[in-house]
Amino acid sequence: MKLLRYGPVGHERPGLLDDQGRIRSLADHINDIDAAALSAENLAMLAALQVEQLPIVSGEQRIGPCVANSRKFICIGLNYSDHAAETGAVVPPEPIIFMKSPDAIVGPDDPVEIPRNSVKTDWEVELGVVIGKTAKYVTEEEALEYVAGYCVINDLSERAFQLEHQGQWCKGKSCDTFGPTGPWLVTRDEVPDPQNLSMWLEVDGHRYQNGSTQTMVYGVAYLIAYLSRFMSLHPGDIISTGTPPGVGMGQNPPVYLQAGQHIRLGIDGLGEQHQVTYAAD
């Protein structure tokens, strides 16, 4: 299933994308695409519905973040060896973990704000993993059983805030609008191998990133097991698993986002995002 949330900011409703690309309403069955909806029982209930009998949502609709009320937005740094090389970093001996504020989460096509005093706002196409049941001290072998589904994430970053100021990475990662998520939450059964997904990103029609989850240093199952050693993962939590090469910081010379640009990105089978950048007031 491709689950989604549509409607104005703060008033999104649950939906499902049918085989013809139309939104079907799930409002008669669940309140939202949230922690409660992601239980195995509720996902099985939704999968058993007759899609052609669900109401078609008419008209142009804003697509919201594909999961509501995430408690944690966990990110993995330098998780592609070729991306580490382009930034001049070494592959870490263990996953680099940092948090992104859940307040950064926006819809996949919502505008992206270039923060005040930003000089190095950058892009990163990433595979997002959405947790479906509480995970604590899980093994790598069982880890994928805790996944509700997968999505596209643009892990936007202000590199000067992230790397040139004192403190941790989170302040360069957590600016408003720096976490476009979706368009869909594609359930686990439709992604048999999360380590074999092509991904790409363009700015103003120029292809900068062209990669695959095949080149992750630490795969999805390992990351879930690893994170569960240090914190419980709860339904609706998001893990953004790192980016392939081609970020702005890695260009020669570096290239960063300016107001008025168009970002387009996607992952095979998980949909596309489209964002226009604007300057903060």
Share of the chain above pLDDT 70, in %: 100
Residues linked to residue 158 through DSSP beta bridges, in sequence order: 121
Q: What's the pLDDT at 169?
A: 85
Please tell me whether the overall predicted TM-score, pTM, comes out greater than 0.75 for this model: yes
> Is 20 exposed, middle or buried, given 0-12, 13-18 or 19+ CB atoms closer than 10 A?
exposed
Q: What's the pLDDT at 175?
A: 96
Tens of pLDDT, residues 6-45:
999 999 999 999 999 999 999 999 999 999 999 999 999 9
**Residue-range definition of the domain harbouring residue 174:** 73-279
Q: Which of 179, 152, 174 is nearest to 273 (CA)?
A: 152
How far is the C-alpha of 130 from the C-alpha of 175, rounded, in Å?
Answer: 21
pLDDT band for position 81 (cuts 50, 70, 90): confident
Co-location of 274 and 200 in the same domain = yes
Contact of 120 with 159, CB cutoff 8 Å: yes
pLDDT band for position 244 (cuts 50, 70, 90): very high
Tens of pLDDT, residues 143-169:
999 999 999 999 999 999 998 887 788
How far is the C-alpha of 155 from the C-alpha of 74, rounded, in Å?
Answer: 11
How far is the C-alpha of 11 from the C-alpha of 215, rounded, in Å?
Answer: 38
Q: Is the pLDDT of residue 124 over 90?
A: yes
Q: Is the pLDDT of residue 206 over 80?
A: yes
Give residues with Cβ within 8 angstroms of 236, minimum separation 6.
Answer: 34, 35, 38, 67, 68, 69, 70, 71, 130, 131
210: part of which helix (H) or strand (E)? strand 206-212
Residue 24 falls inside a structural domain: yes
Residue 64 falls inside a structural domain: no
Q: Which of 19, 18, 41 is nearest to 29 (CA)?
A: 41
Co-location of 18 and 93 in the same domain = no
Residue 263 falls inside a structural domain: yes
Residue 60 falls inside a structural domain: no
